[in-house]
Chains A and B, each alone.
Chain A
Amino acid sequence: MAETIQADDVVDPLGAEEAEPRADQPELRAPGERWKRVGFLTCLTAGALIFLFPFYYMIVGALQTEPNPDVSGAFPDPSNLTLDNFVDINTALNLPRALLNSGIFTAGVILGTLVIGLLAGYALAQLEFRGRGFVFSAMLIVLIVPFQLLMIPLYVMIVRWYGLADTHLGMILPFAVNATAVFVFRQFFMQIPKDVFDAARIDGASELQILMRVAIPISKPALLTAVLVTFIGPWNEFLWPFLITKETDMQPLAVALANYISNVAARAANPFGAILAGATVLAIPAVVLFLAFQRKFVQAHLGSSVK
């Protein structure tokens, strides 16, 4: 058999290197270019600060003993800072258990999406088969129809017909394959020239081999995007797990926090702070995940294999 396409030909080993400085280095020596760069960085920084500000305010608010809704609240008085709101959360909820449930729920959804979604996205993009248009339309329909409309029949179905109340599977099922991720996979694979795959076919590789040896290796950016995108849904999802699980030790973090918030809201010295503390706790794992994964977005050198 002729040499099969090796993944190495197509992309850099990921995660091992940061992108090298771009070829625009020589331009920097020209004085006009330096100003442009300064301007560019300033804009970017200003934008980043604007984006960060509400998040910063959220953390500040979570750390306050007394809420300060005035403008000065953005720059808090150090004597007003406390970790009480966070401590309260830890005592009120079974944090490890809730995290575990969130983890299982989210992992299940990610697994389903990556496996089933990648297959479907790849097939939609690069394979011609009967029913392709139908699958694509079905995916769009699922994306378009809002959850509120489907919620009750879905609940009836999963609880009564499938008997999955108070189970992790029952929580996972409606979200098991994230339609947005399927769409992302499809668009991603559509961007790859057909020739890459046809070359492998000419070499006699079977479709399955092409999938495993060509498609999947080059799909790393799409996989990472899919993980980061799919993660948020189940992680922050409140209503569905709340409906499905009535046992408190089955409830994921978002539900436990929501319970805590409505519980605490009227009583705490700083109810707003409690809400913000809860939201911060919820956001941290997502941020950590992102920080870990975003390094993998590295420029690929795709051109060579096509020629």
Chain B
Amino acid sequence: MAVAARPPRRLINRIAGRHPVGVAFAAPYMIFLVVIYAYPIILAIYMSFHDYFFAAPGAQVDRPFIGLDNYSTALGDPAFRRALLNVVVFLVINVPLTVGLALVLASALNTALPFRTFFRSSYYLPYVTASVALIGVWLWLFNSDGLVNAIIGEAGPDPTWLVNRFWAMPIIAFFATWKQLGFYVLVYLAALQNVPQELYDAAAVDGAGKLRSFQHVTVPGVRSATTLVIILATIVGANFFTEPYLLTGGGGPNGASISPVLLMYQEGIEQNKPGYAAAIGVILAIGVVVVSLVNRFLLERD
């Protein structure tokens, strides 16, 4: 393999890096981010340190600086603590299941199958359907008279699934996993297009069966897609809102399935305490970043 020839170190390279055109390519996106998101995000952080509420333009309002009060209240709030626990339960169920199932399914759907279109569509369908409708269906399924209880009879928990302190969160996690799987299958499907057929052929020649070629060709071959899937699943999982909002009507049995973002919605929008909501948001974001960094560290160690 030839070594890439180094371009001369000109002034532009010293300022903007080896490929200064990258700045130009990334610029439209950065402009977009600044124009649209800079103000709301900076405001959110600002709000978290103040006793803040939204007011009409021209209204005289007092918004005193209160330092870390919002943060300490949040950390001491039992609802927030429960919400954080719920996020952990959710992620523990959702992320590994998503990564595993999505990759396996994508590999399966990438082969020559009879009725391939049918199979691909069926896994993708929940992803495109509006939550409102799907949740209606799941409510029906997991009702005390629903299909699931009809099938498993006495073995069902009491109180029944969605109003059960212990089961509400896992059901939500399964729902979310099921619903979003289509997206991750798609990501892996795209990534699999770039795994050269030659590698599979070589593995077959070496006598590897399906399982071994999966382990040694597929999995490493989609490494960067796996990182994407894990990080996205973590972020999306930490931010889940629609499911507790719709599936368990405002946080479930005694807040058993409340999520941090649902709490932010209640506090920030319903009760007009956006400073407090912002503090919750910041704590959540820090948590997500930490988890992602840990993930990345673990992944890169292999």
Contacts and interface: CB of A to CB of B under 8 A. Distances in A.
Do A's and B's CB atoms come within 8 Å in the complex? yes
A58 B133 contact: yes
Contact of B32 (A58, A177, A282, A283): A177
Q: Pick the most buried of B2, B37, B127, B183: most chain A CB atoms within 10 A of its CB.
A: B37
A229 B133 contact: no
Contact of B25 (A127, A139, A236): A127
Contacts of B111: 19, 22
Contacts of A184: 187, 190, 228
A54 B126 contact: yes
Contacts of A295: 117
Contacts of B131: 236
A229 to B, nearest CB: 6
A290 interface: yes
A303 B130 contact: no
B193 A157 contact: no
B119 A48 contact: yes
A242 interface: no
Contacts of A148: 241, 261, 264-265, 268-269, 277
Nearest to A125: B224
Interface in A277-307: 278-280, 282-283, 286-287, 290-291, 294-295, 297-303
Interface residues on B, range: 35 or more
B289 interface: yes
A138 B2 CA distance: 35
Given A149-B264, A184-B187, A202 B4 contact: yes
Interface residues of A, number: 114
A224 interface: yes
A131 B22 CA distance: 9
Contacts of B186: 225, 228-229
Interface in B98-155: 105, 108, 110-114, 117-134, 136-138, 140-141, 143, 145-147, 150
Contact of A294 (B121, B183, B223): B121
B26 interface: yes
Interface stretch (B72-80, B157-165, B195-203, B247-255): B195-203
Interface stretch (B12-20, B59-67, B87-95): B12-20
A208 B22 CA distance: 10
A132 B141 CA distance: 48
Contacts of B196: 300-303
Given A44-B108, A291-B121, 13 more contacts: A48-B118, A55-B126, A127-B21, A127-B25, A138-B30, A144-B235, A154-B40, A207-B21, A221-B194, A225-B190, A236-B130, A300-B193, A303-B199
26 contacts: A20-B112, A21-B112, A44-B108, A47-B105, A71-B146, A120-B28, A122-B25, A123-B23, A127-B25, A130-B23, A132-B26, A135-B29, A140-B289, A146-B239, A148-B269, A149-B281, A174-B36, A176-B32, A176-B36, A177-B32, A184-B190, A207-B21, A254-B130, A279-B133, A294-B117, A294-B120
Interface of B: 1-2, 4-5, 15-23, 25-26, 28-30, 32-33, 36-37, 39-41, 43-44, 54, 57, 105, 108, 110-114, 117-134, 136-138, 140-141, 143, 145-147, 150, 178, 181, 183, 186-187, 189-194, 196-201, 204, 210, 222-225, 227-228, 231-232, 235, 238-239, 241, 261, 264-265, 268-269, 274, 277-278, 281, 284-285, 288-289, 292
